[in-house]
Structure 1
């Protein structure tokens, strides 16, 4: 009896602390995966631009098409961002296996990579857009519109509520969960090994158990984040939209883990990622390259 009372009191204190915390993201939603219970909500039904969170949808649609993941894709001028003029470390003319292009689009949020995945979709970009619309309907994302694969266009809009549905669906794809939780990877670009990093600094940080991750940023969308995390025995999905800075987005994630999920071990500073990619990962990629 005393244990139940203590647990209830602790839960009440945690909820009160979460309510008192001023979250900087304009839209916030935290949902407990096992029960569907909403643990924290702020403007969760507000329709806003979603930036590169879009790429989770792009990845699902590409994987649904069951294309040859070893097929080489050449990055073309058509893949270059002429809307926001964003930079890319993937040069035009590079030929990269589709699985590595997917890695670049998700882990490093590369826009040329995402654009090339849509361009080489069976039937081309228009067929890709149609497939995205069907996927949105199938997932019940009633307040979502996605017009292109990168998220650069502010017409790609959704709500935190819909994005939890997207994250839940994306987490059922082993390739997406693996890629988005890789801290870094080596990819062969024009015969040279190039190291790329995850855009989410919390991936690989000490004490963080992350099952899915995707960041996003445009001027219109602000700093955005989707994560599936495990903390204090809870599995939860969190969505943060339109934070004013990366530091605000990270602080919100830390406060969710501490006050909403009740993880007292959380520290204010995320530890740096491990410096080395695992040997197993190197071996896997070396074997794959020999077959291409």
Structure 2
């Protein structure tokens, strides 16, 4: 049975969701026809944790600023008022990676706007500030991130800070599908994450800062992006989580450890083409060699070592 026929026909789609994983049978190393530059990936219909595509989807890896999606969920589930003004405190612990920010210490911004710029523009100090103002403080916030992960069945996930600047924030592509589905209950997170441009207006002192979205696909109406977060750390590579419209359905795409700044966007296009035609095309040789190198690294540590091309 061809996976694309299932995707186009609703009755057969129900059959696909009742079974675990893709059904298409294409030869050799890439049986479902989807070739990606990302080392680890998962694709699912929004609302389902069953994967249409699984590429090392249970491999535990650093997830960089995709961490901020869990931060957003904890903020929203706390019920803290989004219009409350929050003071920006100096860091009480050093950041583990470059934490440059244009935000001035001791100035104030509303919680909702802090969350918006943390998501759309990956503002690390904003994410940190949200945690500092959580009931119980910063440590209680991080503990709640891990409790939330456990409640959602994200059993291979662990969070150590709210920003993603630490490589200790680790998850899997499959676990992040679960997170994306949980976030769907909070439309504000999707709204904030897909804001194209935003001017944050601070007080005490009064000043303004412009922000732009880190995902270029939010500017393309044909993609219908409903949720997005990008991320990068040297240890994590380029990462992207997105819910977007493909073949008239909302699809969750999770791409972890992509090669090159444009690779996640290219992979998103490959997923879309795969769902339309059953074949995504090929990736560049440099990306394939990067994947081989990373898979060898994971194999040496006891992980999966299979590369696809």
Which range, TM-score by smaller chain? 0.7 to 0.9
How far apart are 1:238 and its partner, in Å? 0.7
CA distance in 2, matches of 1:249, 1:169: 23
CA distance in 2, matches of 1:171, 1:191: 34
Q: How does 1:15-94 map to 2 (within 5 A)?
A: 19-20=32-33, 22-33=35-46, 37-78=50-91, 82-94=95-107
**Which stretch shows the higher mean deviation, 50-59 or 201-210?**
201-210
Q: How does 1:30-179 map to 2 (within 5 A)?
A: 30-33=43-46, 37-78=50-91, 82-179=95-192
Tell whether the 8 Å contact from 1:216 to 1:224 is kept in structure 2 after alignment.
yes
Corresponding residue SS for 1:188:
strand
Consecutive aligned runs of 4 or more in structure 1 exceeding 4 Å deviation? 9-12, 14-21, 34-37, 261-264
Distance 1:81 1:263, change over 3 A: farther
Tell whether the 8 Å contact from 1:52 to 1:217 is kept in structure 2 after alignment.
yes
> 2:252 is matched with which residue?
237
1:246 aligns with 2:261: yes
Gaps of 5+ in 1: 265-292
CA distance in 2, matches of 1:28, 1:129: 25
Gaps of 5+ in 2: 9-21, 280-309
How far apart are 1:124 and its partner, in Å? 0.4
CA distance in 2, matches of 1:225, 1:80: 27
1:193 aligns with 2:212: no
CA distance in 2, matches of 1:114, 1:9: 40
Q: Report the TM-score when normalising by structure 2.
A: 0.76
Q: Report the TM-score when normalising by structure 1.
A: 0.81
Aligned CA-pair RMSD: 2.8
Number of residues paired by the alignment?
260
